[in-house]
Amino acid sequence: MAGSAGLTWALVEAQAYTLRELRVPVLAPGSRDLRVLHISDLHLMPSQHRKVAWVRQLAETEPDLVINTGDNLSHPASLPVLMRALGPLLDLPGVFALGSNDYFGPEPRNPARYLLPDARGEGSHQGAPNLPGRELQAAFVARGWSDLANKRAVLEVAGQQLSFVGTADAHMDRDRIPPVRDGDKPGSAVAHLGVTHAPYRRVLDGFRADGADMTFAGHTHGGQLCLPIVGALTTNCDLDTGRAKGLHGWPGARPDEDSSSMWLHVSAGLGTNPYTPVRFFCRPEATLLTLVAR
């Protein structure tokens, strides 16, 4: 009886979409506040009309910038559905770093394997891509969003400059910190931000060495199946479970307590693998972060 009730709740919780709100003192002194919407891991299926409607209404939060950290798709026909879900958000300044599940479709696997520290498994994603990741990349760029797969960018957002450094998906070992060229990190930028899909330690260390004030990532699903008090049991990468979701410092305490650390925000994401459509003590989420002056 208890197992049946737990499964029922886990199925319900997987659709209990939540908007988190955070305030982060990360901008240069004297900067104006910036509102950043962080979206990740939608794993969208064409039939998920309720998720599409919920994501569309996020435009009402009036963000200045959208950061998308990948794994948007779960079906070959999901691209037009995703573009409809993001809708008016695509008219705003945005940056993105795609994940493996933007290119490779989900597969049925033993759920116990996700309890491993890094659950990629032998031979994963060795075949040809079967999801329209390249088309998604082109569609985002055509709408004005900046692709940060092993790239840099400088954007003017609400009258202030932000510089960015990003990587391709470290879960597929495709990450590389791009070299710095003239103009990549202007002195007028109010913050330097890192963007990646999977928050592997080597990527976070690389961003910190690059001078990032804050990094945005997804991939972990917040642990997806968590326990009361204990929290996440896994991150599906080498990040510690204490940072499976939410706002933290890296590599140590939060920067307002340890100036040698950078801010790290890991989104628990909005979706799941369609073969394991459950969440437990880990609601699907998007996050609206107000970045303020230090």
Overall average pLDDT of the 166-184 stretch: 95
Q: What percent of the chain has pLDDT over 70?
A: 90
Higher per-residue confidence, 108 vs 225: 225
- ∠94-38-278 over CA atoms, to 5°? 135
How far lies 139's CA from each of 37, 79, 106, in Å? 19, 9, 22
The pLDDT, as a whole number, for residue 5 is 54
User: Does the pLDDT of residue 1 top 60, yes or no?
Assistant: no
What domains, with CATH codes, occur in the chain? 2-121+128-293 (3.60.21)
Predicted confidence (pLDDT) per residue in 97-140, tens digit: 999 999 999 877 655 555 555 555 433 555 667 999 999 999 99
How far lies 219's CA from each of 33, 61, 67, 99, 115, in Å? 27, 24, 14, 8, 14
Q: What percent of the chain has pLDDT over 90?
A: 82
Q: Binning pLDDT at 50, 70 and 90, where does residue 13 land?
A: confident
Q: Which of 70, 88, 113, 118 is nearest to 267 (CA)?
A: 70
Name the least confident of 96-105, 110-119, 190-199, 250-259.
110-119
CA distance 1 to 250: 42
Overall average pLDDT of the 2-26 stretch: 78
What pTM value is reported for the model?
A: 0.93
What value does the mean pLDDT of the chain take?
91
The pLDDT, as a whole number, for residue 43 is 97
How far lies 188's CA from each of 28, 29, 179, 213, in Å? 9, 12, 20, 14
The pLDDT, as a whole number, for residue 8 is 58
Overall average pLDDT of the 157-184 stretch: 96
Q: Binning pLDDT at 50, 70 and 90, where does residue 149 land?
A: very high
Is 185:166 a contact under the CB 8 Å cutoff? no
Three-state secondary structure readout of 117-135: CCCCCCCCCCCCCCCCHHH
Long-range own/partner contacts, residues 105-112 (CB < 8 A, 24 or more apart): 105/74, 105/75, 105/76, 105/130, 105/131, 106/43, 106/74, 106/273, 106/274, 106/275, 107/275, 108/275, 109/275, 111/276
CA distance 70 to 287: 14
Overall average pLDDT of the 287-291 stretch: 98
The pLDDT, as a whole number, for residue 281 is 87
Overall average pLDDT of the 244-267 stretch: 95
